């Protein structure tokens, strides 16, 4: 079993595990700022990402980097877990309410995967997730990094969330952003079993956005909220983001 932060290992029995490969010993850089954007090592802890996103290391034009802080506060965990849990672990667990999935999807994050046969592939994080708790990774595949393009990091971005309990797991997370060229992108996570990404050539009007959000696939029912409620609140959250981006 591949192991990074190990918080999932400590919270859920693993009776079938016979051995572990500790990825943190590989010495991958946590965060690399390049002309193409930001490369987040899969073993980067959540705490390190939050500290970076809220600190002076962020290039001044990357205003959307602060979305990481908003996303992580949607995670049902405190700073003690952040210090150990990793970005790659959160993405690969693929829970619908994965906070780093929300962040990566919002900014067109790309998963850099080392494949079991010695190759490598890159695919959008939104496509890596195939269901609540499932991914397209095969046995032996390793998520090496999540890459965020500079164009998305320069965008104006917003994140809104809702939960049935004040300190409960997010039941719906909606992100919205507007790029330099006017393109608008909205992401829906937590409310859907797989991330929904909605793209528009310009910031849409309220009716067009509401129709697109309501028509997204994957809304589901569990003890934290019924499907129709998740769909409805996602429409409301998307409009809040849209209105802020339009102001």
Reply yes or no on whether the pLDDT at 81 is more than 70: yes
The pLDDT, as a whole number, for residue 13 is: 61
Say if residue 139 is in the same domain as residue 160: no
The pLDDT, as a whole number, for residue 176 is: 98
Q: What is the pTM of this model?
A: 0.90
Per the structure, the complete domain to which residue 219 belongs is given by: 155-246
Say if residue 115 is in the same domain as residue 230: no
Say if residue 210 is in the same domain as residue 88: no
With pLDDT > 70 as the criterion, what percentage of the chain qualifies? 85
How far does CA 15 lie from the centroid of its chain?
A: 29
Say if residue 160 is in the same domain as residue 145: no
Say if residue 26 is in the same domain as residue 142: yes
The pLDDT, as a whole number, for residue 230 is: 97
Range with the lowest mean pLDDT among 45-59, 87-101, 136-150, 173-187?
87-101
Domain finish residue from 121, 151, 181 = 151
Domain finish residue from 136, 151, 166 = 151
Average pLDDT over all residues of the chain = 90
How many structural domains is the chain composed of? 2
Domain finish residue from 128, 151, 174 = 151
Q: What is the CATH number of the domain that holds 30?
A: 3.30.465.10
Say if residue 109 is in the same domain as residue 133: yes
Question: How deeply is 215 buried, as exposed, middle or buried, from its count of CB atoms within 10 A (0-12, 13-18, 19+)?
Answer: exposed
Degrees to nearest 5, angle at CA 177 with 107 and 171: 75
Reduced to 3 states (helix: H, G, I; strand: E, B; else coil), residue 195 is: coil
Whats the size of the chain, residue-wise? 247
Q: What is the CATH number of the domain that holds 205?
A: 3.30.390.50
The pLDDT, as a whole number, for residue 73 is: 83
Say if residue 50 is in the same domain as residue 144: yes
Say if residue 25 is in the same domain as residue 67: yes
Say if residue 122 is in the same domain as residue 48: yes
Reduced to 3 states (helix: H, G, I; strand: E, B; else coil), residue 120 is: strand
Nearest to 173 by CA among 184, 162, 185: 162
Nearest to 189 by CA among 236, 247, 120, 129: 129
Let me know: does 125 contact 91? Beta carbons within 8 Å: yes
List of residues 6+ apart from 111 with CB closer than 8 A: 91, 104, 122, 123, 124, 125, 128, 143, 145, 146
How far does CA 233 lie from the centroid of its chain?
A: 19
The pLDDT, as a whole number, for residue 77 is: 63
Say if residue 117 is in the same domain as residue 163: no
Reported as a single tens digit per residue, the pLDDT across 154-169 is 999 999 999 987 666 8
Say if residue 123 is in the same domain as residue 186: no
């Amino acid at each position: 079993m591949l192991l990074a932060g190990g918080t999932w290992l400590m919270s859920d029995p693993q009776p079938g595990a016979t051995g572990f490969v500790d990825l943190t010993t590989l010495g991958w850089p946590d965060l690399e700022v390049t002309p193409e954007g930001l490369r987040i090592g899969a073993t980067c802890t959540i705490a390190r990402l939050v500290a970076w996103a809220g600190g002076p290391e962020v290039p001044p034009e990357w205003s959307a980097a602060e979305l990481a802080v908003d996303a992580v506060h949607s995670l049902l965990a405190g700073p003690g877990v952040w210090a150990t849990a990793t970005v790659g672990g959160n993405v690969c667990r693929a829970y619908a309410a994965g906070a780093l999935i929300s962040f990566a999807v919002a900014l067109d994050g790309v998963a850099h995967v080392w494949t079991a046969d010695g190759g490598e592939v890159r695919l959008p994080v939104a496509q890596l997730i195939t269901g609540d708790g499932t991914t397209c990774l095969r046995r032996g595949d390793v998520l090496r990094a999540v890459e965020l393009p500079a164009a998305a990091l320069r965008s104006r971005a917003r994140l809104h969330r809702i939960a049935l309990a004040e300190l409960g797991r997010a039941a719906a997370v909606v992100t919205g952003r507007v790029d330099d060229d006017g393109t608008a992108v909205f992401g829906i996570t937590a409310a859907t079993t797989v991330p929904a990404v909605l793209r528009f050539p310009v910031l849409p009007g309220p009716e067009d956005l509401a129709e697109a959000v309501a028509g997204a696939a994957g809304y589901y029912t569990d003890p934290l909220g019924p499907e129709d409620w998740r769909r409805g609140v996602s429409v409301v959250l998307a409009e809040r983001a849209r209105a802020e981006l339009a102001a």
